[in-house]
Structure 1
Amino acid sequence: MIPLAPPGIDPDEARRRMLEELSKAEYDDSPGFVQWLLETIESWLTEIVQGIDGSSAAQAGLFVLLIALALGVTVLVLRRTGLIRRSATLTVETALDTPEVLSASELRSAARDAVAAGRLDDAAVLAMRALVRDLEDRTLLDVTAGMTAHEAAEGASVPFPELRGRLQLGAQAFDTAAYSYRSVSAKQAEDLVRLTEYIAESSPDLTESPRAAG
């Protein structure tokens, strides 16, 4: 059971505890996971409600905040376990932190093949995975557990600051391909593939990179 947050607990600490609890091994992607997760959070919020006497505006405000945090964590967990992925349309793995069997070059090639075959969502996902793998191999990006495409884009914009806007557009294309019921356009997929190829052939700007100072 997710522990009850005592009155007055710091919101950041509450979020940390929730993420820590939900990261345990028992929270997997089994068929009943979604139902279990919603029931657990509902039970936890009920305990909080029972613990608030209504006399404290601060406690009421904390309750509202914790509801928002609970909903946010639910979405986060569902996305990172792939349970809200459009599995009927997407045929490739979306996790950016999964140890790769394919090299960055092979992922780029697979992305180009997917574009040619009209599998635009697969192409966008493969291109972002290629980008992350390439930057990780070049020690330009620290890949963390559960890394999102926007986190990867932000990290990539440090050694490639002039590409920040294009990287964020690429992250949006990845999210559409991986999590939306809409498909990416041919232009979105092709732009992301080209961006990945361009970065692979470009030298980074390390003048403002923490790695340059190290």
Structure 2
Amino acid sequence: MGLASNAGFDVPVVPDAPDARDWLLEELSKPEYAAARPSLFDILSQRFFDWLLRLFQPGESVPLDWLPVAIVGLVVAGLIVALLIWGVPRVNRRSGAATGLFGDEDRRTAAELRRDAAAAASAGNWTLAVLEQFRALARGLSERTIVLVSPGTTAHDFSLRASGAFPPASDDLANAATIFDGVRYLGQQGTADDYERVRRLDARLQGESPRRHEAVDAEVPA
């Protein structure tokens, strides 16, 4: 009797299909199996490496899905080579002239501003002549890519930057900026002397070469 009962325990239990499925799902839900599942990163990485292997397998046709990647890679490589050879392109003169100038939208070139300043001076409108001549001074240095004049640049900001390129003219540049601010914002009337001082400064800087930027940076006090 005892032997029969012991033998009964040795007979393996064969579950039917529903029980087997339930047991499998229960087993796979354990934490150790969940930790072993591949993550989304693992799946994407495997697909990427499979794609690379397809490119180099002998006897296999080259997959067409590599063409967009190759085209983008060639474009990026071409841009890098162009930057290494020619450097970062500067803003051209015409695009720089189209920006704002001391709070006003002004697309005139330095030559046009100088002509307008001279016309205002001939008419005796010294206030307008001073404003136009200072704008011509700033636009001229901007066209020469010596001083960058952005829409938010003030007259004194411009004079400080220009002084770094033309140190001997720093006092005259500061005085010209003061004259411009007085006429433009404080309601002062321009005079023939004011106009002539700014005009002479503009003509002087047209004939001078700026100091190298490396020298300007080297002399900045710590």
| TM-score, with structure 2 as normaliser | 0.48
Asked which structure has the greater RCO (Cα within 8 Å, sep 6+), the reply is 1
| TM-score, with structure 1 as normaliser | 0.50
Question: Of Structure 1 and Structure 2, which has the larger fraction of its residues in helix?
Answer: 2
- Highest CA radius of gyration, 1 or 2? 2
